[in-house]
Structure 1
Amino acid sequence: MNTEEAFLQSSVKKFKAQKLLGDKVFAQLDEQNFFFKPSAESNSIAVIVQHVSGNMLSRWTNFLTEDGEKSWRERDAEFEDTLSTKEDVLNAWNKGWDCVLKTLESLQPGDVMKTITIRSETHIVVDAIIRQIDHYGSHVGQITCGANYIYRQAYKK
């Protein structure tokens, strides 16, 4: 296996581990927990998922051929409360991850050093993948912290 193949396999493994962590957190939450905000300035888990899914669909649709910031993406709207059920949240989560993983698994070793564009800036594919691993990892961390806060509040009583 060459370095590029190893990188792609490792990337898939890292993304799948982040998705699994989120899946495990979601399995422990009641419906209302997805929409809880500890303060007016906070984002609920549902809003975080909505943002992550929007980012995933924008970045990974036509990954090698189009700018990762699609004209159809409405980033600001991702931070509004539009999802209304646990099912909506999980559907958005899974739709985003399906796009990421299908695209990533379709990449070939020769694609790793190609140049792509995100927000009109050029990046080599390896850097773009690392950028997204970091981005999604930070949001999965927010989701985990939010769930921990909810859990602590429930058992304070």
Structure 2
Amino acid sequence: MEIALELIESMLVKFRSEKKWSLQAIEQLSEEDITSSPTPESNSIANLVAHIRGAVHSRIETIHLNIPDTRDRDKEFEKGLKMSKEQAITKIRDSFDILIEYLEHLKSSPELLMSQPFLNLPPLTYSQVNNETTALNLIMAMFREVHFHAGQIIYAAKIRKGQLVWNYN
């Protein structure tokens, strides 16, 4: 199980880092920056935040916290999605906190990495994983998804603000 623990610990470091940078970027934005899209075809930061929150809800909260899946993925990408800066901060913080909590759970029981948490649940929708996926595959898919969209949030924030100020501590 040593490799499993190393993997989980590495993922915890990465998710904590993504949380820090995402929050720092959003905190430097105005209310208008949150809902503005870099181009007419692009997603706003509000869309990206809503999408991350939706993915965490449908893929992690449903299995880890036994919360029914109520995700409306199409709404996450609506043009002109309204979201305050405070809502964006709360949604990003909650998303990362849930991911980190799930990883801490796996760290305390690393044998669960090979479990199939969705096996006896209704068919998954809007997911890159299926009901036979393992917890390991799920967390790897979530890392890819969250990392990709957190990068988009930071890039969109840089487009809006030019230079961002980073706290490296």
Q: TM-score, normalised by structure 1?
A: 0.84
Unaligned runs of 5+ in 2: 125-129, 164-169
- 1:95 deviation in Å? 2.0
4-13 or 117-126: bigger deviation:
117-126
- In the other structure, the counterpart of 1:63 is 63
Q: Is the 8 A contact 2:47 2:77 kept in 1?
A: yes
- In the other structure, the counterpart of 1:145 is 155
Count matched residues. Answer: 151
Percent identity reads 27
The structure with the largest strand share of the pair is 1
- In the other structure, the counterpart of 1:90 is 89
What secondary structure, in the 3-state scheme, does the structure 1 residue paired with 2:33 have? helix
Superposed, 1:20-99 pairs within 5 Å as 20-63=20-63, 71-80=69-78, 81-99=80-98
Q: Is the 8 A contact 1:57 1:100 kept in 2?
A: no
Q: Is the 8 A contact 1:43 1:79 kept in 2?
A: yes
What amino acid is the match of 1:96? S
Q: Which runs of 4+ in 1 moved over 4 A?
A: none
In 1, Cα distance between the equivalents of 2:65 and 2:53? 20
In 2, Cα distance between the equivalents of 1:110 and 1:62? 20
Unaligned runs of 5+ in 1: none
In 1, Cα distance between the equivalents of 2:14 and 2:139? 11
- In the other structure, the counterpart of 2:166 is none
- 1:73 deviation in Å? 1.2
In 1, Cα distance between the equivalents of 2:64 and 2:27? 34
- 1:62 deviation in Å? 3.9
In 1, Cα distance between the equivalents of 2:38 and 2:81? 18
- 1:60 deviation in Å? 0.8
